[in-house]
Each structure stands twice: as C-alpha cells, then as structure tokens.
Amino acid sequence: MTRRVVIIGAGTAGTLVANRLRRHTSPDVAITVIDGDNEHVYQPGLLFVPFGLLPPDRLVRPRSAQLHAGVEFVRAEVDRVDLERDQVVLADATAISFDVLVVASGARLMPEETEGLAEPDERVHTFYSLPGATKLAQALDRFDRGRLVINLVDLPIKCPVAPLEFCFLADWYLHRRGIRDQVELTYVTPLDGAFTTPTASEQLGGLLGRKSVRVVPEFATAEVDHAGQRLVSFDEREVGYDLAVMVPVHGGAEYVTRSDGLGDALGFVATDEATLQSKAKANVFAIGDATDLRASKAGSVAHFEGEILVANIEHYLAGRPLSARYDGHTNCFIETGFGRALLIDFNYAHQPGTGHFPGPVGLPLLKESRLNHLGKLAFERLYWHAILPGRPIPLIGGDMPTAGKNLQPAQRTAQSGGTR
C-alpha cells in the first residue's frame, strides 16, 4: 500500500527532508513537495549582496532541480491544512491527501506589524529578502556620510546573528571606502545586550565596542517615522537615521493561521522540541523556521533537525515509538569583517563556549579567525552539494559534539539565537 508524505515548503528544511526521505524510505512511500514558486534562494548569501560581495543572481536556483528523482514537486499556493481530513487544500481548491505532513514553510517578513515600516522609502531598507538586499546595495553605494542604523525590531527572526554580522561588515565596507569616520554606526536591539546568550553576548558586544558601533539596547520599535527620519520606541525613545537597515517582525506562513488547530497567532507550529512532532496531530511534523521551538531559526538547525525528523517519520510509518531526539544543536559562523569570522556552537543545554569544533582539533570557537571566515565561504558549496541533497557530513551530525569544548549551562530563553 502506497503512503504519501506531503511536505509544504521547498526551502532548506523541506528540500533536505524530502531528499533524505527519498534516500532512506522504500519506494512505496510517495513524497510530494509543495511550494508557491520555483526559486530556491541561498539565504545565507543575502548578507553579502549589499556590500557587493555576491551577485544576486548567484543565489537563486530552481527548487525542482534540488529535489531527487522520485520526489514530486507541486508548484501551488496552499490555502489551508484540513487536519480532520488529512488534506492540504490548495488555492485552487484542489485537495492533496497525506498520511504524514511536514510543515517546512519557513518564516515570512511582516513589516506591516510596525507602523510605517511597510511604506516605501529610499532611506529605509532590509537585506532579509533578495529584492531588499539588492536595493540596499544601491542605497549603500550612494551613502557617504551620516547615521547608519541597523534595527532588529523583535525576535524570533531568521538568522538571529545576521543583524550583528551586518554591523561588522558595514564597518569593514565603510573602512574600505575610506568613509568610516564620516559615518555613525548604531545597532538598535530589543535585547539587553548584543545577543541572547551571556557568553556570546559579552564577546559580540565587546567586538561592537572595539569597532565603534553604538548599541541601543532594550529598544522596542513602535514606529518608523519617515518624515522625521527616526525610529520611535513604545516608551517614546528616539533614534535618528539617514539610512536605516531594518529586520522586520517575522511570522509563520499565512496558511498556518487559516488552518484550525495547526499553529499560533503568528503562524508558527507548536512542535515537540525533541521529536519534532507537532502538538496538533500525531501525523503532522514541523521543522526549521516554521516551528515555535526555542532553537534558532537558522539553516544549521534545519540541517541538524532533518536527521532527527526523517528517523521519526520512518518510525511513525512503521508504527514504532519516536525514539530520535533533537538536542537543540545550532552552529553559527559570524562574519566580523576584514576577512575574519567567529564560530559558535550550542544547544538547549549549553550556551556557546570556547574550544574547538567539531572536536578537540578543529575550528576555534568564540574566537575571530581567518579559518572561520574560510569556513563561512566554503559553506555555500556544502549547502548546494551536501546539505540540500541530504547527504551525511562526516563528524557533523544532529547531536552537538561535546569533545574539545568548555561547556557552560544554558539559560532557558524563548529564542536562543543563531545563524546559518
């Protein structure tokens, strides 16, 4: 008897899960992937576009071409999920039945949630979309003096250290152009420090200080005032700008909010943080940015979760207990400019610490190095040729390796942070 696994979303998480399933499950399991377009964007590359380090067209490949033979790709918008009937209902009212559903539709930008942010303005941009990053590149090219402000509106977001990386790369970019002393660079965040975990926050905050980046903490942005060129917080504090780089509020896919019982008010799916089974129904799973987990909304998380999720789907189809467990593993390269980068590695139980990854000998943790920068650059090839195809990567599995690290217990937070 043929059983069908339907995956909504052909981004990082959905693609790698489909390919892993096709490699590991029997031919009598049909796999269908649904997405509204056929453009797979390499999202880690968006950070580099504004600084002219990557051309926009290099980041896009067809979604269908990333899927293994034997995986069906359906290009369509999803209207809702009918949990009672085990069906995905498309915008044209076509219903696709499933035995197992995987929600992998990521997170979407919601600028409309902040007053004024959805209004077009040549002085207000984002790099969290390909069109936005492309327009920001043009704006930065014209910018030669004044106040450059980077504002993280609220968490959770995709790639939580990317706004910090933007600060570091902007500092380097302005130095390279010889205008750094003409620009006041400011990082505005709702957090009480640079990052969500104490050890990383201390390290990254110190780095911002050394690069003369002013930090405005605990700033809850209520409005972008275009006429006054200022950000206004809910407690009526103000930060002026000449060029603002905004990271908008994020939410889950809109169809989730239209699907009774599937997700929360923001469209994220309530998910068991260990098994990745949804709390809505036993045959529904979620992965990556689509979940409400306290793990980061990051590509590395989707990669590590994928191993666990595929094992548990196999267990579910076989009628066995879900024994695979995700430990919250997140691994992040953080570009710091001038050809250097930091690396952090952590999970639910441990915050980022010093040492090496993936073992006693390897890349240095919580320390700027040229080697980490080269690792960041090498990730693009690894992404297209190993992670998306669902291939195992030697020494880098789902569980966080502990050898070679100075481990410190984590403080439980709603959003641990991280990036690609």
User: Does any domain span residue 392?
Assistant: yes
Q: Kindly state whether residues 95 and 118 are assigned to the same domain.
A: no
Q: Provide the token pair at 244.
A: 């603002």
pLDDT band at 416 (very low <50, low <70, confident <90, very high): very low
Cα gap 182→171, rounded to integer Å: 11
Let me know whether 294 and 393 are in one domain: no
The pLDDT of residue 395 is 79
User: Does 416 map to a domain?
Assistant: no
Question: What's the pLDDT score for residue 408?
Answer: 84
User: Of all helices (H) and strands (E), which one includes residue 247?
Assistant: strand 243-247
Residues 59 and 75 in one domain: yes
What gap in Å lies between CA 162 and CA 407, rounded to an integer?
24
Single residue among 196, 214, 249 that ends a domain in this structure: 249
Specify whether 205 is located in the same domain as 275. Answer: no
Each residue's pLDDT tens digit, 14-26: 999 999 999 999 9
pLDDT at 70 over 60: yes
- Kindly state whether residue 217 falls inside one of the protein's structural domains: yes
CA 256 – CA 105 distance, rounded (Å): 9
171 & 142 share domain: yes
Of residues 279 and 1, more confidently modeled: 279
Indicate whether 116 and 222 sit together in one domain. Answer: yes
pLDDT band at 410 (very low <50, low <70, confident <90, very high): confident
Q: Check which CATH number belongs to the domain holding 220 and give it.
A: 3.50.50.60
Provide the domain limits for residue 399.
330-409
**Termini Cα distance of the chain:** 39
The predicted pLDDT at position 411 comes to 67
Across the chain, what does the average pLDDT equal?
A: 95
Inside any domain, residue 31: yes
pLDDT tens readout for residues 188-246? 999 998 887 778 888 899 999 999 999 999 999 999 999 999 999 999 999 999 999 99
Give yes or no: residues 362 and 381 share one domain.
Answer: yes
Q: What is the pLDDT of residues 128-182, one digit of tens each?
A: 999 999 999 999 999 999 999 999 999 999 999 999 999 999 999 999 999 999 9
| Tally of structural domains, the chain | 3
Domain final residue pick, 249, 278, 307: 249
Q: Does 269 share its domain with 245?
A: no
Q: How many CA atoms lie within 13 A of 195 on its CB side?
A: 30
Asked if the model's pLDDT at residue 13 lies above 70, the reply is: yes
| 325 within a domain of the structure (yes/no) | no
418 assigned to some structural domain = no
Residue 285 and residue 354 share a domain: no
Alpha-carbon span 200 to 353, nearest angstrom: 8
Name the residue among 31, 23, 27 with its Cα closest to residue 7.
31
Q: Tell me which residue has tokens 């923001």.
A: 266
Specify whether 308 is located in the same domain as 340. no
The verdict on residue 289 lying in a domain is: yes
Assess if residue 212 is contained within a domain: yes
Q: Which of 221, 249, 277 is the last residue of a domain?
A: 249
Same domain membership, residue 33 and residue 142? no
Q: Is the pLDDT of residue 420 over 60?
A: no
Does residue 259 sit in the same domain as residue 283? yes
